[in-house]
């Protein structure tokens, strides 16, 4: 396996380590305060800039090859890409809480090389992001009623690997109690696999299959799912699609 594939695999696993024939020789770069915290911030308070000073602690010239981020909410750039032995530089990172909620730990992976060894170094930021809305309201914007939420009221049929027409709809209980859920389809063509109960602040997927037997190609499909929570009706959901 070549070195580039090893780096890709390690990044996918979220590891920071040394790649190369002399991995036992240790780090190339040393970061000061590699783990930082922003404490509690509001989602609309604006982006926060963080500085991560680092030093070339090897005996060779080191090049910063890449900086990998797991999301657009935490990005970074260095002011120097090539460092002589003992030279110092700064990685400036930006933590943007706009799309975040609750407890957060975000990482950047810095890929550096001395021409022989390639090393992955990790830096991080921790914090807690406050929002006016609950986590359920943020992730599941469609309020069906009685504390039941989902991400959209209209869902599209898709075909699975066996050619069957299927759908999957997240149902989220945004209350502090367990609720009973009952789902009925508008026709016998729909076979449902629905959760019967939802624990407080939990999600289960409502899955189903559509029997397209004897339906003409190009036919439009619209099915309605009626839902009740603890016996009380809530807003219905629609399933739409086209027979291929």
Same structural domain for residues 8 and 126? Answer: yes
As a whole-number percent, the residues of the chain with pLDDT over 90 amount to 66
pLDDT attached to residue 72: 87
Higher-scoring residue by pLDDT: 210, 162: 210
Q: Structurally, how many domains does the chain consist of?
A: 2
Query: What percent of the residues of the chain are helix, what percent strand, and what percent coil, each to the nearest 5?
Result: 10, 55, 40
Same structural domain for residues 10 and 125? Answer: yes
Could you tell me where the DSSP H helices lie in 107-215? Answer: 135-139
Boundary of a domain, candidates 130, 161, 185: 130
Boundary of a domain, candidates 92, 113, 130: 130
Same structural domain for residues 56 and 89? Answer: yes
Higher-scoring residue by pLDDT: 20, 231: 231
Boundary of a domain, candidates 80, 113, 130: 130
pLDDT attached to residue 6: 44
Question: Which residue segment(s) compose the domain that 205 sits in?
Answer: 135-242
DSSP notation for 175-193:
SSS-EEEEEEESSTTEEEE
pLDDT attached to residue 26: 52
Phi, psi of 202 (to 5 degrees): -130, 160
- The CATH number covering residue 206 comes to 2.60.40.10
- Determine the straight-line distance between the first and last CA of the chain, rounded to whole angstroms: 42
Same structural domain for residues 156 and 175? Answer: yes
């Amino acid at each position: 396996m070549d070195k580039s594939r090893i780096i890709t695999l390690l990044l996918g696993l979220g590891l920071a380590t040394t790649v190369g024939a002399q991995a036992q020789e240790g780090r190339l770069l040393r970061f000061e305060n590699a783990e930082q915290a922003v404490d509690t911030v509001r989602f609309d308070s604006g982006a926060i800039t963080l500085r991560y000073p680092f030093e070339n602690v090897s005996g060779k010239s080191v090049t910063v090859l890449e900086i990998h981020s797991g999301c657009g909410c935490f990005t970074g750039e260095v002011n120097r890409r090539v460092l002589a032995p003992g030279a110092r530089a700064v990685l400036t990172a930006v933590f943007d809480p706009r799309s975040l909620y609750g407890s957060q730990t975000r990482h950047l992976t810095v890929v550096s090389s001395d021409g022989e060894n390639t090393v992955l170094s990790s830096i991080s930021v921790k914090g807690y992001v406050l929002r006016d809305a609950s986590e359920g309201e943020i992730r599941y914007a469609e309020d069906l009623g009685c504390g039941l939420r989902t991400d959209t009221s209209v869902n599209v049929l898709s075909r699975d690997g066996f050619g069957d027409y299927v759908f999957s709809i997240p149902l989220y209980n945004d209350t502090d109690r367990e609720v009973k859920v009952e789902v009925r389809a508008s026709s016998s063509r729909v076979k449902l696999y629905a959760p019967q109960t939802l624990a407080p602040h939990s999600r289960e997927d409502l899955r189903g299959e559509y029997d397209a037997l004897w339906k003409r190609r190009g036919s439009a499909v619209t099915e309605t799912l009626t839902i009740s929570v603890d016996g009380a009706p809530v807003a219905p959901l629609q399933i739409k699609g086209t027979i291929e």
